Chain A
Amino acid sequence: MTKKENLAHAKDVVRRHAEDQYAAELQALAESDRRARPPQWKLSPWAVKTYLLGGTLESGFEITPKYIGAPRLIEIAVATLATDRALLLYGVPGTAKSWVSEHLSAAISGDSTLLVQGTAGTDESAIRYGWNYARLIAEGPSRAALVESPMIVAMREGKIARIEELTRISSEVQDTLITILSEKTLPIPELSTEQQAMRGFNVIATANDRDKGVNELSSALLRRFNTVVLPLPATLDEEVAIVERRSAELGRALELPAEKPALEEIRRIVTIFRELREGTTTDGKTKVKSPSGTLSAAEAISVVESGLAMAAYYGDGVMRASDTAAAIVGAIVKDPVQDRIVWQEYLQTVVRERDGWKDLYRACREELG
């Protein structure tokens, strides 16, 4: 069971839950929030929106933006949850779907841990309930012998349940959700009882349309969700802002001794990713081939992160081309044959020609060997 017994050692965990990491922000928001809150919500929809998009409170308290992108998407997501409709966040990998889902549940329920991770092996008991067989045999069917899923906990406590990678779950298991979403109840026929959802219960699911082995959502299920498609960052500046902010946060979490990431270096990485992803250079003059990977903002973040670590441990603390080259090549060259050709072409035709990119070109050449 995902209980927070290690709350005392929260500082020691690799990745803190959103509600822990941003506890101060959530509290400040709750204090200044005077607008109507839907039942069981910790914050009003307006405050949730501010939490996600950032802003300055009346008290002067600064809320950091969690999602950088079109505000209307967050507005639709919050409005959806306020009308107790389930929310489906959809999009290509690395577009902050899980990130948004985690922060929404942290802001609304104060708890982002009621999570069902969708995999090809996820079975019904992960969504409904399982049995403690020792107890079941010893005492017969009883509520005590029931192993509750995060879903059932969320229903009982009136919180948000999260389902990650909904499309990876097999169709039969997906359909278990239909009753929960439309009847807002989960029958437990073995005990002739049911778990009805308390007010405040809702479901946020994420799904992506790119990875292989995806189980299409049935239209019956799709109908029960409001869909919000999260796009790849629209502009270079937006993407740079995302990468910079996230890698700074991660660097802090990992207690990297490196300096604040160099904006110029990040801009270069994001530019490379965008150009390869879109198949054309920023000035629109040169066509480039696209590699097999998605090259999302999330991958750019991990490149910067590893560059920071390299700079901190093996370099002089300032992130340079030589620190990021290995990670860039690793992120782009997923297929050793095809992607390598794509990358080499890009290096020769674009990187080499660009003013001030000589260091990056040399570092990447060395990396390729």
Chain B
Amino acid sequence: MADVRVFGIRHHGPGCARALRAALDDFSPDCVLVEGPAEGNDILPFAARAEMQPPIAMLLYQAESPKDAVFYPFAVFSPEWQAIRWAAEKGGVCRFMDLACGVRWAVEEEEKAQTIDGANPAETSKDVEDPPFDPWAVMAEAAGFDDHEHWWEHQIERAAKAPDLFAAILESMRAIRNDAPPENRIEAMREAEMCRSIKTAEKDGFQKIAVVCGAYHAPVLVDRSKRKGDAEILRAPKKKKVVATWIPWTHSRLTSRSGYGAGVTAPGFYHHLFVAPDSASARWIASAARLLRDQDLDASSASVIEAVRLADALAALRDRRAPGLSELNEAIRSVLAHGSDAPLAIVRKKLELGDVLGNVPSDVPTVPIARDLEAMQKSLRLKPSADEKILDLDLREETDRRRSTLLRRLVVLDIPWGEPVKGQGKASGTFHEYWKLAWRAEFAVRVIEADFFGQTIESAADAKLTEKSTETRDLARLVAMLEIAVPAALPAATSHVIARIRESCALTSDIETIAKALPALARIVRYGDVRGTDGAVLLPIIDGLFERLVIGLLPSSSSLDDLAARKMLDAVRGVRAALETLKDPEFLKRWIAALSALADAQVHGLLRGGALRELIEQASVADDEIERRVAYSLSKGHPPAEAASFIEGLVSGSGIVLLHFDGLWAAIDRFIRGLDEDGFREQAPILRRSFGQFTGPERRAMGEKVKRLGSGGIGRPKAAAPADDDVDPERAARVLPILARLLGKGSKEATS
């Protein structure tokens, strides 16, 4: 009969992991069974490889819908991982013994179908590791601890040696569980399956079998000989096809905060405890001090010594064997941070969570697109890292251009590894792009999802965008897609979107939409120059759109209400940017003609003013023309509200016009003075809105202008010399010698 020993563990407990290793060394089993789904067995051999660096996770997903996925994360301090590694190092056999995920999913689906009436919808919790009932919390409470993490850390993790740890865990779990049945069908199936796996291992002729499982299951697995009816329990619907792979994981995704059920509070600290159990406090505080120093905070070695002493004293005062995380943090706060919480937040983020990203060998079976992504990352020297960093890309460089393309394609695939940020400081021209890079562990799933669309990043992004573009006819959205497609160098999607835009153009009669689409299209043409993509294909479309715009501008500007007029004005203003980008004199000429017509037409005051302003900006209207139009629009014949909107359209944005055209100034002045009290009160908000947007210097200049106009009237030259009536030339002359000496010219003048 084989010798079977059950080791009940706590997931991700460094003390447990250490004790388990020692226990395995002692027992030296020829077969190690680990709690984990059977599908993982295929990829278990990879765990032996040196390139496997935790934190990593086993990812299992349904072959036909990769969205349904579960992760089994392992850190270096996870007992399961240590068991797997032990077997790999000592040449033992290692197997996962838990219920296959495919079965689990099939059962869940069946149960969901049964409770479809909504009476009791099955919980769709993603974590498979722990029962919602937490046995440790019960034990911690019994021991008088308010927090079971504390209790565990105190009792187990910081214990120097715990040879009888597993016997003790088994004993206490037996007491807590008290022969309680598993709480649901899945749990029952899991325990039955684990027992069956042990039986299989015995049948396979292994002599010493170590069983590593969550502590809660330990009593059941020990008493497995009494079990009956497992075959009945394990009867299940046809199981789903499941694919398993290893993916890199991060420490922050190991925390309970990230929504991981069996999570821990401070993975960084546990890692630290596991790696350096002997001088944990000193090392921890010293690393915190280094971190604070990097942030330019005072943290001398003397302070580190004092902090370690305080932590030790605190632990003694609390009757603990060694300082735990709370003692260490309190010591850091009190000594290094002078009582402030802010530095501690840095420690929490960088040390306790620690942005560590694991690594898996490159030949782990996975979807082709992931392979493609890896190859790209390698060739472009862009290593995925959980640390946030800013990437500065110079688009004139081949590699940088390709990097930008890759990041953009990933965005199309919903993998926002990089996030575009505004240029910082010096080089923020069109040749530069800035990206904020941070790889998140969940991207691995999205990569697999993306495989549906194609086998390479390029083809998948291309296909996805093409598909998206067929779903809409909205010109604005299509143009937005084109703006994504062109810089991402997706040829099929680009031509598809362009075709869609052409179709959509023919159907769109909304001038506002057209006017808004133009600047974006013009931008794409310009980008074409920088990136070597050919923007010329767009020119015919722009031609067509512009034609419609010029024709449709006037008719669709009439009888608009305030809101619609404002929108239209925004659209009209945007066109200038497009024309400046395109630099086509013919376009410009026709646009000016259209604007002149608009400025003279009976349309909303806002539009009339705005059109005139555009004309002034293009320097295509004579001064007397401006004054005539202004005087006309502000003359008594127009209702005051109309006139005020005209002013808003004309001056809003920048006050330069006002400063340069005295006639305009005088006309507005006349208009405002002509208002009666009620009229003024009515128009004041609109005027305030127009004038409120001006910058400080502009307003100052206007104030000076008011002064000048007040004293000398209109038409006085701007650079007039200050009044010199009161200067006594004789007294003024006395200053000159001193002034000359101050300017360093005194001696020379004297000699010459």
Q: Does A79 contact B (CB under 8 A)?
A: yes
CB-CB under 8 A from A228, the residues of chain B are: 334, 339
Are A82 and B313 also in contact (CB < 8 A) when A223-B303, A226-B306 are?
A: yes
Interface pair B338/A222, CB less than 8 Å apart: yes
Interface pair B339/A227, CB less than 8 Å apart: yes
CB-CB under 8 A from B298, the residues of chain A are: 219, 223
- Closest residue of chain B to A89, judged by CB? B339
CB-CB under 8 A from B334, the residues of chain A are: 76, 80, 226-228
Task: Give A158 to B74 CA distance when docked, in angstroms.
Answer: 54
Interface pair B335/A226, CB less than 8 Å apart: yes
- Closest residue of chain A to B318, judged by CB? A75
A79 in complex: contacting residue of B302, B310, B326, B340, CB < 8 Å: B310
Q: Does A78 contact B (CB under 8 A)?
A: yes
Interface pair A223/B314, CB less than 8 Å apart: no
CB-CB under 8 A from B300, the residues of chain A are: 223
CB-CB under 8 A from A68, the residues of chain B are: none
A45 in complex: contacting residue of B317, B335, B337, B340, CB < 8 Å: B317
- Closest residue of chain B to A226, judged by CB? B334
Are A90 and B306 also in contact (CB < 8 A) when A45-B317, A82-B317 are?
A: no
Interface pair B306/A83, CB less than 8 Å apart: yes
Task: Give A83 to B300 CA distance when docked, in angstroms.
Answer: 18
B310 in complex: contacting residue of A45, A46, A223, A226, CB < 8 Å: A226
Instruction: Give residues 353-412 of B contacting A (CB, 8 Å).
Output: none
Q: Does B309 contact A (CB under 8 A)?
A: yes
Interface pair B310/A83, CB less than 8 Å apart: yes
Query: In this complex, which of B302, B331, B335 has the most chain A Cβ atoms within 10 angstroms of its Cβ?
Result: B335
CB-CB under 8 A from A120, the residues of chain B are: none
Task: Give A171 to B564 CA distance when docked, in angstroms.
Answer: 65
CB-CB under 8 A from B202, the residues of chain A are: none
Interface pair B309/A76, CB less than 8 Å apart: no
A83 in complex: contacting residue of B302, B313, B326, CB < 8 Å: B313
CB-CB under 8 A from B340, the residues of chain A are: 229
Task: Give A342 to B303 CA distance when docked, in angstroms.
Answer: 45
- Closest residue of chain A to B299, judged by CB? A223
Nearest chain A CB to B334 CB, angstrom units:
4
Q: Does A49 contact B (CB under 8 A)?
A: yes
Instruction: Give residues 207-231 of A contacting B (CB, 8 Å).
Output: 219, 222-223, 225-229
CB-CB under 8 A from A90, the residues of chain B are: 339
Nearest chain B CB to A365 CB, angstrom units:
39
Task: Give A46 to B309 CA distance when docked, in angstroms.
Answer: 17
Interface pair B339/A79, CB less than 8 Å apart: no
CB-CB under 8 A from B317, the residues of chain A are: 45-46, 49, 75, 78-79, 82
CB-CB under 8 A from A72, the residues of chain B are: 326, 330
Interface pair B314/A79, CB less than 8 Å apart: yes
CB-CB under 8 A from B335, the residues of chain A are: 85, 226-227
CB-CB under 8 A from B326, the residues of chain A are: 72
A76 in complex: contacting residue of B303, B310, B316, CB < 8 Å: B310
Interface pair B314/A85, CB less than 8 Å apart: no
Interface pair A80/B310, CB less than 8 Å apart: yes
- Closest residue of chain A to B319, judged by CB? A46
CB-CB under 8 A from A78, the residues of chain B are: 317
Interface size of B in residues (CB-CB distance below 8 Å): 23
Nearest chain A CB to B299 CB, angstrom units:
10
- Closest residue of chain B to A45, judged by CB? B317
Task: Give A83 to B312 CA distance when docked, in angstroms.
Answer: 9
Interface pair A227/B310, CB less than 8 Å apart: no
Interface pair B314/A75, CB less than 8 Å apart: yes
Query: In this complex, which of B312, B331, B339 has the most chain A Cβ atoms within 10 angstroms of its Cβ?
Result: B339
Interface pair B338/A227, CB less than 8 Å apart: yes
Nearest chain B CB to A70 CB, angstrom units:
10
CB-CB under 8 A from B314, the residues of chain A are: 75-76, 79
What mask results when residues 220 to 264 of chain A are scored 1 for a CB within 8 Å of chain B, else 0?
Answer: 001101111100000000000000000000000000000000000
CB-CB under 8 A from A79, the residues of chain B are: 310, 313-314, 316-317
Instruction: Give residues 290-335 of B contacting A (CB, 8 Å).
Output: 298, 300, 302-303, 306, 309-310, 312-314, 316-318, 326, 330-331, 333-335
Are A83 and B309 also in contact (CB < 8 A) when A76-B314, A223-B298 are?
A: yes
Nearest chain A CB to B145 CB, angstrom units:
14
Task: Give A223 to B298 CA distance when docked, in angstroms.
Answer: 9
Nearest chain B CB to A52 CB, angstrom units:
12
Instruction: Give residues 503-546 of B contacting A (CB, 8 Å).
Output: none
Task: Give A223 to B306 CA distance when docked, in angstroms.
Answer: 10
- Closest residue of chain A to B306, judged by CB? A85
CB-CB under 8 A from A76, the residues of chain B are: 310, 314, 330-331, 334
Task: Give A76 to B328 CA distance when docked, in angstroms.
Answer: 11
Interface pair A85/B310, CB less than 8 Å apart: yes
Task: Give A219 to B337 CA distance when docked, in angstroms.
Answer: 11
Task: Give A90 to B340 CA distance when docked, in angstroms.
Answer: 10
Instruction: Give residues 74-117 of A contacting B (CB, 8 Å).
Output: 75-76, 78-80, 82-83, 85, 88, 90
Task: Give A279 to B171 CA distance when docked, in angstroms.
Answer: 53
Task: Give A227 to B335 CA distance when docked, in angstroms.
Answer: 6
Nearest chain B CB to A48 CB, angstrom units:
9
Task: Give A228 to B334 CA distance when docked, in angstroms.
Answer: 6
Nearest chain B CB to A55 CB, angstrom units:
14
Task: Give A80 to B313 CA distance when docked, in angstroms.
Answer: 8
- Closest residue of chain B to A78, judged by CB? B317
Nearest chain A CB to B288 CB, angstrom units:
15
Query: In this complex, which of A46, A90, A223, A226 has the most chain B Cβ atoms within 10 angstroms of its Cβ?
Result: A226
Task: Give A105 to B390 CA distance when docked, in angstroms.
Answer: 53
- Closest residue of chain B to A49, judged by CB? B317
Nearest chain B CB to A11 CB, angstrom units:
35
Task: Give A34 to B752 CA distance when docked, in angstroms.
Answer: 100
CB-CB under 8 A from B331, the residues of chain A are: 76
- Closest residue of chain B to A72, judged by CB? B330
Nearest chain A CB to B261 CB, angstrom units:
29
- Closest residue of chain B to A225, judged by CB? B338
CB-CB under 8 A from A82, the residues of chain B are: 313, 317
Task: Give A88 to B310 CA distance when docked, in angstroms.
Answer: 14
Nearest chain B CB to A59 CB, angstrom units:
21
Nearest chain A CB to B717 CB, angstrom units:
52
CB-CB under 8 A from B310, the residues of chain A are: 76, 79-80, 83, 85, 226
Task: Give A83 to B333 CA distance when docked, in angstroms.
Answer: 16
Task: Give A90 to B339 CA distance when docked, in angstroms.
Answer: 8
CB-CB under 8 A from B306, the residues of chain A are: 83, 85, 226
Task: Give A226 to B340 CA distance when docked, in angstroms.
Answer: 11
Query: In this complex, which of A49, A83, A219 has the most chain B Cβ atoms within 10 angstroms of its Cβ?
Result: A83
CB-CB under 8 A from A226, the residues of chain B are: 306, 310, 334-335
Task: Give A78 to B317 CA distance when docked, in angstroms.
Answer: 8
CB-CB under 8 A from B318, the residues of chain A are: 75
Task: Give A228 to B302 CA distance when docked, in angstroms.
Answer: 19
What mask results when residues 165 to 181 of chain A are scored 1 for a CB within 8 Å of chain B, else 0?
Answer: 00000000000000000
Nearest chain B CB to A23 CB, angstrom units:
24
Task: Give A219 to B297 CA distance when docked, in angstroms.
Answer: 11
Instruction: Give residues 258-286 of B contacting A (CB, 8 Å).
Output: none
Interface pair B339/A85, CB less than 8 Å apart: no
CB-CB under 8 A from B303, the residues of chain A are: 223
- Closest residue of chain A to B341, judged by CB? A229
Task: Give A223 to B334 CA distance when docked, in angstroms.
Answer: 10
- Closest residue of chain B to A182, judged by CB? B302
- Closest residue of chain A to B326, judged by CB? A72
Nearest chain A CB to B259 CB, angstrom units:
27
Given A45-B316, A46-B317, 13 more pairs with CB closer than 8 A: A76-B314, A76-B331, A79-B317, A80-B334, A83-B306, A85-B309, A90-B339, A223-B302, A225-B338, A226-B306, A227-B338, A228-B334, A229-B339
* Complex A-B: 6 CB contacts under 8 Å: A49-B317, A76-B331, A80-B313, A88-B339, A226-B306, A226-B335
Q: Which 4 A-B pairs have the closest CB atoms?
A: A227-B339, A79-B313, A229-B339, A79-B314
B-side residues, CB < 8 A to A, are: 298, 300, 302-303, 306, 309-310, 312-314, 316-318, 326, 330-331, 333-335, 337-340
A-side residues, CB < 8 A to B, are: 45-46, 49, 72, 75-76, 78-80, 82-83, 85, 88, 90, 219, 222-223, 225-229
